[in-house]
Amino acid sequence: MRLLRRVGILCAGALVFAAAGMAQGRFQLKEGDRVVFYGDSITDQRLYTVLAETYVVTRFPKLRVGFIHSGWGGDRVTGGGGGPIDVRLKRDVIAYKPTVMTIMLAMNDGGYRAWDDALFKTYSGGYEHIIDSVKKALPAIRVTVIQPSPYDDVTRPPDFAGGYNAVLIRYGQFVKELGDRDGLIVADMNTPVVAMLEKAKAADPELAKKIIPDRVHPEESGHLVMAEALLKAWNGPSLVAAVEIDAAARRAVRTEKAQVTALHFNREISWTETDDALPVPLPHPLDAVGKDFALAVQSSDFVEALDQEPLKVTGLTAERYALKIDGEKVGDFTKGQLAEGVNLALEATPMSKQASRVHDLTVKHNDLHYARWREVQTPFQDLHVSGEQAALDALDKLEQETVQLQRAAAQPKPRHYELTPD
């Protein structure tokens, strides 16, 4: 199970609070949206898509948005194993009446060889057909087009002069120009992943190869950076919640996306805090799902861009303090670290454990949808067996109940904080 947990790392306070305060535009998803993720095997992995869904559910727990994952391995703009493109669009996109659709295609369309004008003509025409078809069926749909994730020509030598990723970059340039022309949201999953791979290679050349082990399909480490690119395109906020307490003045001087009550100053400082959101559930420790995951996080700006939960306490007198949340030891910090600010999103906290439970339910509901779609609906669609609809209805009901559990699990809870001198 792809369960994300937490890690205990301190971020510099200046960076934490600067990133938390960065101005960002309005988040692109809104109440009642239904999102369909469409693409080939990289979308079919259900990793960047599930990570993006978990972020939305935990960062906006009151926002009702539905998610359908419709990637199919081997797909091109013309379709593939799931049927021709018009069959795919009708069954796997339009039938769900989405308000938002993301599209990532190109890895297979380029043929894994040097630039070919005929292949690109098919790609460009087919891509426009996809957008025209969904807009004709769903005139109000908002489309996010994705410049494709890279073929790894960074950690290994290119297969031919220039390399296959150079071909994908040219395909991605078409996607960007099309998106700009038609007023679509554009997300670039190539440039940031390549930049991360380059930093990872410089730090550990052999481990960096494990981020995209077959050069096409990233591990979860690569998908984290891909999810970041999509969420940035949607104006995903960096801040989970921010609290600053001035112990000398005996008051909270900053509460952003958080409410602080019952603040007491004795030998220890204690308070009750209810945040508006939960952090992204990163692993704890960071290499728990693989050392490549830690390397990818350290080689990217994911934490700075999307996972800031700063706690800052100034005016302390003792040299070291123990932080507990709901009676659980989070860590020991110097007064200097607390004065600069600790990013709780990088600590094993009750909030991060709660977010991990949300992620687990996100995986479960997507596994149910996959079983419904790929193991019942599609293989039985032409057999006209009497039990098909009952099976689909039962799986739909089970998934709906799982989504309800997911949303309930994402609701923030009051947490009791204790900061005690060691």
- Options 3.40.50.720, 3.40.309.10, 3.30.499.10, 3.40.50.1110; CATH for 25-233 is 3.40.50.1110
Least trusted range by pLDDT, from 1-10, 175-184, 301-310: 1-10
Q: What is the mean pLDDT of residues 396-413?
A: 98
Mean of pLDDT values over 212-239: 98
Pull the structure tokens for residue 93. 């996109």
Instruction: Find residue 65's DSSP bridge partners.
Output: none
Q: Classify residue 266 as exposed, middle or buried by CB count within 10 Å of its CB (0-12, 13-18, 19+).
A: exposed
Average pLDDT over residues 314-331: 97
How much is the pLDDT for 287? 82
pLDDT of residue 93: 98
* Nearest alpha carbon to residue 166 among 225, 116, 206, 105: 116
**Would you say residue 17 has pLDDT above 50?**
no
Task: Provide the mean pLDDT of the chain.
Answer: 94
pLDDT at 18 over 50: no
CB atoms within 10 A of CB 23: 4
Q: What is the band of 3 on the pLDDT scale with cuts at 50, 70, 90?
A: very low
pLDDT category at 289 given cuts 50, 70, 90 is: confident
For 379, other C-beta atoms within 10 Å of its C-beta total 11
Percent share of the chain, pLDDT over 90: 92
Dihedrals phi, psi of 231, to nearest 5 degrees: -65, -35
Question: How far is the C-alpha of 121 from the C-alpha of 337, rounded, in Å?
Answer: 56
Looking at the chain, the domain(s) classified CATH 3.40.50.1110 span 25-233
pLDDT in tens, 333-351: 999 999 999 999 999 999 9
CB 297 within 8 A of CB 288: no
> Is 129's pLDDT higher than 60?
yes
The model's confidence at residue 285, banded by pLDDT at 50, 70 and 90, is confident
Summarize the confidence of residues 211-240 as an average pLDDT.
98
Q: How confident is the model at residue 286 (pLDDT cuts 50, 70, 90)?
A: confident
- Averaged over 307-313, what is the pLDDT? 98
From 274, 257, 279, select the one nearest 414 (Cα to Cα): 274
